[in-house]
Amino acid sequence: MSGREFFTARTVAEARAGFRPANRTDIETVPLAEALRRVPAEAVSSPSALPGFTRSTVDGFALRAADTFGASDGLPSYLELLGTVRMGATPDVAVRPGSCVAVPTGAALPDGADAVVMVEYTAETMPGTIEVTRPVAAGAGLVRADEDVVAGGPLVPGGRPLRPAELGLLAAAGVTSVPVHRRPRVAIVSTGDEVVPPDTAGLRPAQVRDATAPALAGLVADAGGVPVYAGIVPDERGALEKTLAGLLDEADVVVVSAGSSVGARDETTGAVSALGTVWCHGLAIKPGKPTLLAECRGVPVVGLPGNPLSALVVFRLVGMPLVWSVAGCTSVPPEPSTRARLSRNLASAAGRLDVVQVRVRDGVAEPVFGPSALLSVLTRADGYVVVPEPATGLDGGADVEVILYR
């Protein structure tokens, strides 16, 4: 690793486009009941046409459209009723000229019929004779056997997390399991001599409980990954390097939640550098500048800033897309957002992405300010506003997009 690389700072846009470790999780086949939001390894096609048979879409009478030509209240068509199709049963009677067969919604169309007239436009004036008072066009009141999906046609695309409706379409086609990328295992290592586990009851003044790791675990889960806690490592390069080396064998992404001191950051950089290639050290983002991105044996390693607020902002913008990407996802699900009016001017520096926490009330986005050391700045916010890299700020009163927390 050269000194030049070591000090290279990048923009968030460059990191998102350029930092692309090639590893992808392997492929496993899961049943539909476990497939929600999983990423199909490739597009899935339908083994057969759907619905697979011509199907009525109304309650009515299957008939030949030509037999209803010119039908009206004054001059109905009279058709012989040959029988009734039962739900789920293959029709055992065919429609011939001048006749019809009763069909419920969803039933199979009998042979010979090319349309279904709704029961509302008919009357059974005499037993066995149906009076039709409206003309129907061929193809009315039905879906064709391959109108939902043609045989071999696409059910779901590859690379996009499966949505609820897609699980339904797969089930309709009889596809009850899907090859998907394994959920990425995301190891979370905390460092910092001041950091103690969350279940530490009594703290000495100067100690803090590890708040970042549990929050990161939530973001990892939101990105479809499996968080793996790797514990708290002291601010000592040898210890961290040893821990990281072990994690590289079992994790698909490694996240180092650094202690807040310069010392802790330096140890992280040293340990990561020894194990792979540092892609950038420093991101043009506020908060979150002291971020390190590296690739070690094909595994992306993200070194986060020490302040929990900064760490979570950076992980949301840079880490979560990486987790999705490692799972083969090429189309990340959209985040909730809303438009709001910014309550006041926001200053920024050109070339730097600013992430400003906001509360939203009655369509107004009110910035929540406070030191990055305060996690409550994040928990009091409803979402955040981004001041883009080229901008030098945003004007009060501007219409802005707020990415909402959920």
CB of 384 to a copy of itself, least distance (A): 11
CB of 237 to a copy of itself, least distance (A): 15
Per-residue contact flags (x/-) with a copy of itself for residues 384 to 403, judged by CB under 8 A: --------------------
Q: What are phi and psi of 244, to 5 degrees?
A: -60, -45
Q: Is 51 in the site for a copy of itself (CB under 8 A)?
A: yes
User: Taking CB under 8 A as the criterion, which residues in 66-105 touch a copy of itself?
Assistant: 85-91, 104-105
CB of 83 to a copy of itself, least distance (A): 14
Q: Is 139 in the site for a copy of itself (CB under 8 A)?
A: no
User: Taking CB under 8 A as the criterion, which residues in 233-292 touch a copy of itself?
Assistant: 235, 259-264
On whether the CB atoms of residues 23 and 297 are closer than 8 A, the answer is no
Distance between CA atoms of residues 406 and 162, nearest Å: 19
User: Taking CB under 8 A as the criterion, which residues in 364-383 touch a copy of itself?
Assistant: 371-376, 378-379
The residue among 57 and 343 lying less far from a copy of itself, judged by its C-beta, is: 57
- Of 104, 18, 12, 11, whose CA–CA distance to 277 is shortest? 18
Q: Is 211 in the site for a copy of itself (CB under 8 A)?
A: yes
User: Taking CB under 8 A as the criterion, which residues in 98-137 touch a copy of itself?
Assistant: 104-108
Angle at 240 between CA 238 and CA 241, to 5 degrees: 65
Out of 76, 135, 192, 276, the only residue in the binding site for a copy of itself (CB under 8 A) is 192
Q: Which stretch binds a copy of itself (CB under 8 A): 161-169, 181-189, 243-251, 281-289?
A: 161-169
Alpha helix stretches (DSSP H) within 175-333: 212-222, 237-250, 262-275, 308-314, 320-326
- Of 238, 353, 240, 211, whose CA–CA distance to 301 is shortest? 240
User: Taking CB under 8 A as the criterion, which residues in 289-318 touch a copy of itself?
Assistant: 306, 308, 312
Strands 277-281 and 292-296: antiparallel
**Tokens 């302040």 belong to which residue?**
307
CB of 50 to a copy of itself, least distance (A): 8
Q: What are phi and psi of 361, to 5 degrees?
A: -135, 125
How many residues does this entry show for the chain? 406
**Tokens 């010979």 belong to which residue?**
112
Q: Is 388 left (phi over 0), alpha (psi -120 to 50) or beta?
A: beta
CA–centroid distance for 65 within its chain: 46
Q: Is 143 in the site for a copy of itself (CB under 8 A)?
A: yes
The residue among 129 and 200 lying less far from a copy of itself, judged by its C-beta, is: 200
Out of 113, 215, 248, 272, the only residue in the binding site for a copy of itself (CB under 8 A) is 215
Out of 27, 94, 221, 274, the only residue in the binding site for a copy of itself (CB under 8 A) is 221
The residue among 8 and 57 lying less far from a copy of itself, judged by its C-beta, is: 57
Out of 29, 200, 330, 345, the only residue in the binding site for a copy of itself (CB under 8 A) is 200
CB of 275 to a copy of itself, least distance (A): 24
- Spatial neighbors of 328 by CB under 8 A, at least 6 apart, are 24, 25, 39, 41, 158, 159, 181
- Of 391, 209, 397, 213, whose CA–CA distance to 286 is shortest? 391
Out of 15, 19, 40, 55, the only residue in the binding site for a copy of itself (CB under 8 A) is 55
Q: Which stretch binds a copy of itself (CB under 8 A): 69-77, 94-102, 131-139, 219-227?
A: 219-227
CB of 335 to a copy of itself, least distance (A): 6
Out of 21, 158, 161, 328, the only residue in the binding site for a copy of itself (CB under 8 A) is 161
The residue among 4 and 204 lying less far from a copy of itself, judged by its C-beta, is: 204
On whether the CB atoms of residues 102 and 82 are closer than 8 A, the answer is no
Distance between CA atoms of residues 265 and 290, nearest Å: 8
